[in-house]
């Protein structure tokens, strides 16, 4: 409420310029100027906020429209912040009711920009190149904000419905919900979500428009969470279907289940069975002596020196032979 007061949202038009249909939104009259009831402004803004969150979460877009001088910069900056289409220079007749023709001009603009980026226009003369560049600038001025809009928007947000009467008429004809700032000189009956506010003060326009942009961002976040939840649910359903097909039930200790083996095969493999060795596998040797591992303290035997002299009989140790084997002395 304080921010609305500071922005001057409560200031309406002169009493002689009012629309009697706005009487329910007018609080009082001061010095020939109508004062807007800010409590109703807050309630209407909350309704519009929640509506935008819902439609953006459903995958639709919101078209921002504000061609008056006070609203041009705000509409462009806030629409870019929430990645939504906008019109801030001039409303082209048929933007909604004849969208196919508008889409054709957008495609033509995209083709010209692509050809220029690829260098396909370098062979043209200076006069032809200048004419194409001027056409690109002109098309961007009127269609640059809706270049990424491939279908009709889910809702349209308008600043000053009196000035943007053509946009209001086209939205009504195409059954597109309208959210709009309505001043004391506007008709609120044709607006689905009227927001009573001063539509001439720059600060008031910026405050309300930024609030709508925030609702768009919240809707985008909600959509992302919903998509992630749907993907997780789909993955869980797929796992449940695999369990039902294979009959495999994973234990809670297993980090990742193995889908390759059914429960019956697992039970069969877990039972101890004596299997004969196959041809490729040799059975272990029975009672085979195992080689002792060399220890660190064992020292290798020195190799025999080939240069050493051979042993003589004197060098060999004398062994005593038994008496029975000794030869007898000659007689």
Report the pLDDT value the prediction gives residue 29, as an integer from 0 to 100: 86
Whose tokens are 């299997």? That residue is: 275
Q: What is the CA radius of gyration of the chain?
A: 46
Please tell me the distance from the alpha carbon of residue 103 to that of residue 1, in angstroms, as a whole number: 42
Report the pLDDT value the prediction gives residue 282, as an integer from 0 to 100: 52
**Whether residues 147 and 6 fall in one domain:** no
Report the pLDDT value the prediction gives residue 269, as an integer from 0 to 100: 54
Report the pLDDT value the prediction gives residue 123, as an integer from 0 to 100: 86
Whose tokens are 């020196």? That residue is: 305
Domain boundary (129, 151, 173) is at 151
CB distance 159 to 181 below 8 Å: yes
**Whether residues 53 and 143 fall in one domain:** no
CB distance 198 to 11 below 8 Å: yes
| Distances, alpha carbon 303 to alpha carbons 76, 264, 292, 306, in Å | 96, 64, 22, 9
Range of the domain at 203: 2-90+155-225
**Whether residues 170 and 86 fall in one domain:** yes
Report the pLDDT value the prediction gives residue 309, as an integer from 0 to 100: 46
Number of domains within the chain: 2
Report the pLDDT value the prediction gives residue 169, as an integer from 0 to 100: 96
Domain containing 52 — which CATH number? 3.40.50.10490
Could you state, in chain order, the average pLDDT of each consecutive group of 10 residues for the chain (331 residues)? 84 86 89 90 94 94 94 94 94 94 94 90 89 93 92 95 94 95 92 93 94 94 85 72 60 52 52 49 50 47 46 47 46 37
Q: Pick the closest to residue 149 from 96, 216, 108 (CA basis).
A: 96
């Amino acid at each position: 409420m304080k921010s609305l007061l500071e922005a001057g949202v409560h200031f309406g038009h002169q009493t002689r310029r009012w629309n009697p249909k706005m009487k329910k939104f007018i609080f009082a009259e001061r010095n020939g100027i109508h004062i807007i009831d800010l409590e109703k402004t807050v309630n209407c803004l909350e309704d519009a906020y929640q509506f935008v969150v819902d439609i953006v979460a459903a995958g639709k877009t919101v078209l921002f429209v504000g061609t008056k001088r006070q609203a041009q910069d705000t509409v462009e900056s806030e629409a870019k912040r929430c990645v939504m289409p906008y019109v801030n220079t001039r409303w082209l007749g048929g933007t909604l009711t004849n969208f196919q023709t508008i889409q054709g001009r957008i495609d033509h603009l995209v083709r010209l920009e692509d050809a220029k980026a690829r260098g396909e226009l370098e062979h043209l003369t200076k006069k032809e190149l200048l004419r194409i560049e001027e056409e690109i600038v002109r098309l961007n001025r009127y269609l640059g904000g809706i270049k990424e809009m491939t279908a009709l928007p889910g809702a349209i947000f308008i600043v000053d419905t009196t000035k943007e009467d053509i946009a209001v008429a086209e939205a009504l004809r195409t059954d597109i919900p309208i959210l709009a700032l309505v001043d004391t000189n506007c008709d609120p009956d044709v607006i689905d979500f009227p927001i009573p506010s001063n539509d001439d003060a720059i600060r008031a326009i910026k405050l309300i428009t930024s609030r709508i942009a925030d609702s768009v961002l919240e809707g985008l976040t909600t959509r992302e969470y919903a998509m992630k939840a749907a993907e997780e649910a789909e993955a869980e359903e797929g796992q449940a279907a695999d369990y039902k097909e294979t009959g495999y039930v994973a234990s809670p200790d297993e980090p990742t289940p193995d889908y390759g083996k059914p429960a019956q095969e697992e039970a069969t493999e877990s039972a101890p069975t004596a299997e004969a060795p196959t041809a490729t596998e040799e059975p272990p040797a029975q009672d085979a002596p195992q080689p002792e591992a060399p220890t660190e303290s064992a020292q290798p035997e020195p190799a025999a020196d080939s240069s050493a002299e051979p042993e003589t009989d004197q060098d060999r140790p004398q062994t005593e032979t038994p008496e029975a084997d000794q030869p007898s002395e000659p007689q």
